[in-house]
Amino acid sequence: MSITHQALRRGALVGALATCLLSPSLSQAAQVHHVGTLSYACGGVGEGDLKALQAQAPHFNLGFWMVEGPRGAYLADVPIRIRHQGKTVAEFTADGPLCYVQAPAGSYTIEGTHRQQQRSVTVQTGNKNAYLRW
């Protein structure tokens, strides 16, 4: 094998490895959970995780962020309750600042608690940019 051929193979291997490490992949994507008629995925801690989660957005019809302060610092580990027509339809702890939800069409109230303070926002399916802000 010539040195040029070895260099090309090595370069291709390094390129493939870099692509795997730098691009969002399914292994980095947030896990999808199912509760009744809802499915949800939360995450976004770190740029790679955030990009991987955002790539899943077309599979969901609701999305919300959890942020703190005037600059919108991202929050994680926030207890979440989702209500529909006055009934709790899901409760979970958000793993990161962004959550996507797939739900039957309608209006939902999303409640979160951070530092013993509760915030809520009411959203219609189709809205993927709601905020719970502390």
Is residue 128 included in any domain, yes or no?
yes
Comparing 16 with 118, the larger pLDDT belongs to: 118
Query: Does 118 map to a domain?
Result: yes
Note the pLDDT tens digit of each residue in 84-101: 999 999 999 999 999 999
> 5 Cβ partners below 8 Å, 6+ apart?
none
Alpha carbon separation from 1 to 4, 6, 10, 132 (Å, rounded): 8, 7, 13, 60
Q: How confident is the model at residue 28 (pLDDT cuts 50, 70, 90)?
A: low
Q: Which two tokens stand for residue 115?
A: 């530092």
**pTM for this entry:** 0.78
* CATH number of the domain encompassing residue 87: 2.60.40.10
Residue 16: pLDDT over 50: no
Range of the domain at 117: 26-133
Residue 78 belongs to a domain? yes
